[in-house]
């Protein structure tokens, strides 16, 4: 252990592996870590398996799900950025499924319907 400015630094290269394993067992579990039981898994699976087979449904999905996160913003004052609000969409546990669903809807409109999708981008 090194002491610098009243801070203790533990050099793990000098600690026995058994000690690290014991400390890991005693450490509290991270509440944000993925759990063994994912209650959203059935919904994720349903969204991933959803096939787009109707032009109106594809248009509705493409309009409903935005291309970019609408919450991300730069706060500008007198021409200078004073704050940045990060995209909050990635906090949504179903974000990847919704983006995939929108992509499949746009692909259906292009491949099956032959439509121009530039207005959705």
Round to the nearest angstrom and report the end-to-end CA distance of the chain. Answer: 55
- Residue 22, domain member (yes or no): no
Give the pLDDT band (50/70/90) at residue 80.
Answer: very high
Kindly provide the b/e burial profile for residues 41-71, where b requires at least 16 CB atoms within 10 angstroms of the residue's own CB: eeeeeeeeeeebeeeeebbebbeebeeebee
Q: What is the pLDDT of residue 107?
A: 94
- Residue 7, domain member (yes or no): no
Using the predicted structure, report yes or no on whether residue 5 has a pLDDT greater than 80: no
Q: How far apart are CA 66 and CA 80, in angstroms?
A: 27
Domain residues for the domain of 56 are: 40-120
- Residue 30, domain member (yes or no): no
Say if CB 113 and CB 120 are below 8 A apart: no
Strands 7-9 and 73-77 come out as: unpaired
- Residue 35, domain member (yes or no): no
Entry pTM: 0.62
- Residue 3, domain member (yes or no): no
Domain count across the chain: 1
- Residue 23, domain member (yes or no): no
Q: What average pLDDT score do residues 48-77 get?
A: 91
- Residue 65, domain member (yes or no): yes
- Residue 85, domain member (yes or no): yes
Q: What is the pLDDT of residue 97?
A: 94
DSSP the chain: -EEETTEEE--GGGS-HHHHHHHHHHSPPPTTSPPS--TTHHHHHHHHH-----HHHHHHHHHHS-SS-TT-EEEEETTEEEEEEPP-GGGSTTHHHHHHHHHHHHHHHHHTT----GGG-
């Amino acid at each position: 252990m090194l002491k610098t400015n009243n801070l203790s630094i533990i050099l793990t290269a000098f600690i026995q592996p058994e000690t690290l394993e014991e400390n890991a067992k005693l450490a509290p579990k991270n509440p944000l870590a993925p759990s063994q039981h994912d209650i959203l898994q059935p919904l994720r699976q349903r969204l991933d398996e959803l096939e787009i087979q109707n032009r109106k449904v594809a248009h509705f999905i493409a309009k409903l799900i935005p291309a970019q996160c609408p919450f991300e913003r730069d706060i500008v004052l007198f021409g200078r950025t004073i704050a940045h609000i990060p995209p909050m969409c990635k906090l949504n546990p179903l974000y990847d499924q919704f983006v995939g669903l929108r992509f499949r809807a746009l692909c259906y409109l292009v491949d099956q319907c032959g439509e121009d999708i530039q207005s959705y981008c």
